[in-house]
Amino acid sequence: MNRGLSEKRSWVFIAVLFGTVNIAMGCAVPVFRYALERWESDPYIVTVNRGENSSEAIGQACELLDNFSSWDNDDPANLVMHEYKSTDKVKLAAGQMSVHFPYSSQIEKPILIDKISEKAVKEIVDSPMRSEIAKRLVGADSAVWVFLESSDAKKNKAAFELVEKKLKELEENLMLPDDELAAESGMVIAEENEDVVRISFSMLKLARNNKDEKFLIDLLLDSEGDLRKYDDEPLVFPVFGRGIVLFALVGDGISEENIEESCLFLTGPCSCQVKALNPGLDMLIKFNWDNALMESLIVEEFEMPELEGLGLDEVVEAAVDVEVVTEEASDNRLLRNVLGLLVILALIVGGGTWALRERKQ
């Protein structure tokens, strides 16, 4: 293949990629607010094995599940119902159901395997604490910090007081993103609502033996592969947006530095509008976020001014007219261009997730 033509096509590919994918360096909207208004919750998968001759009770429970998955429901839950197949990896007996994390989590282990019943269905989609978390998030809270207690009362007291004190300090000292960033992203907090957005954190204690919250506790402990081995250590989970759980802080990892880093991410400028490229895992919750936010949406887009310079046609035309001086120079430029693109994308996609994972302990 002609090396010069190959380089030209690579330049066109890079131009199209950057013209199509909007990777903003930052915007005037903090992460917690953008997530609340714009990031839909990923669905959990509830697999049901009705059996050949299912009872009326099983049929009613499955109908309830189906209703929760419908957005026509006044109180939908982020789930989809899947009819069991013999080829499924997780085997279920007739009359059983399993609950799996969203596909995006890449967690294969089910959170729960239980008998199909209306009671079980209601317990997986709702609980007092999840309801309270949702109310706080659509209210004034930037994030709700769920404090999962350990078996050691002394450790619980010390860790809880540390988190509580640090969050109050950060509420007073952290700043929201500068409005000047709006010019880079086309996103801004509507002027009439600028006073509505403020930095506010709250905490909720959760005992590990709380029967009413068993599903939530299992969800949190299974959200990362090694959390169940820390029975004697308190865990803290920042929750933001529409119930997105950040990586846990565990034991000695519950430090002022780690708490501050989590809060800096939550209150900082939203640097990537694609949810999948941000850290966190949605919890399963029954709540109509759109209805709750209908009267309080404050993030708006404004039309960006057209950038002066070459359009795509001009880029292609210029690329075709490029004269390759030598094959060696061509190879070097192509390598630098491709490597540069890969480094930029890798830093954006992987940087935030890696940093938050490293803070866990």
| Percentage with pLDDT > 70 across the chain | 68
pLDDT at 216: 98
Q: What is the pLDDT of residues 194-221, one digit of tens each?
A: 566 789 999 999 999 999 999 999 999 9
DSSP 174-209: --PPPGGGHHHHSEEE-GGGTTT----EEEEEE-TT
228: left (phi over 0), alpha (psi -120 to 50) or beta: alpha
pLDDT at 310: 44
pLDDT at 275: 78
Q: How many residues does the chain have?
A: 361
The pTM of the full predicted model, rounded to 2 decimals, is 0.75
CA 221 to each of CA 78, 216, 235: distance values in angstroms, whole numbers, following the listed order: 19, 9, 9
* Residue written as token pair 């119902």: 81
Alpha carbon of residue 116 to chain centroid: 29
Cα angle: 75, vertex 77, 83; to 5 degrees: 130
For residue 249, give both structure tokens: 């802080």
Q: CA nearest 128: which of 55, 36, 249, 217?
A: 217
Q: CA nearest 281: which of 346, 227, 345?
A: 227
Q: What is the pLDDT of residues 27-45, one digit of tens each?
A: 678 899 989 988 999 999 9
Contact predicate 170/260, CB 8 Å: yes
Contact predicate 233/249, CB 8 Å: no
pLDDT top residue among 203 and 14 = 203
Q: What is the pLDDT of residues 96-121, one digit of tens each?
A: 999 999 999 999 999 999 999 999 99
pLDDT at 237: 98
Is the predicted pLDDT of residue 337 greater than 50, yes or no? no
Considering the chain, what is the average pLDDT of its residues?
80
For residue 96, give both structure tokens: 């059983």
Q: What is the pLDDT of residues 48-73, one digit of tens each?
A: 999 998 899 999 999 999 999 987 88
Mean pLDDT check: name the lowest of 126-140, 275-289, 321-335.
321-335
Is the predicted pLDDT of residue 300 greater than 80, yes or no? no
Range list of H helices, 298-326? 312-320
For the residues 136-155, what does the mean pLDDT come to?
Answer: 96
What's the CA gap between 131 and 125, in Å, rounded? 10
- Which helix (H) or strand (E) element contains residue 84? none
For residue 133, give both structure tokens: 């978390």
Is the predicted pLDDT of residue 9 greater than 90, yes or no? no
Contact predicate 178/274, CB 8 Å: no
Q: What is the pLDDT of residues 305-332, one digit of tens each?
A: 454 444 445 544 544 444 443 344 344 4
> Which of 11-15, 122-126, 184-188, 345-349 shows the highest mean pLDDT?
122-126
Pairing state of beta strands 235-240 and 201-206?
A: unpaired
The sign of the dihedral angle between the CA atoms of 14, 16, 20, 22 is: positive
Beta-bridge partners for 100: 45
Q: CA nearest 226: which of 42, 356, 124, 361?
A: 361
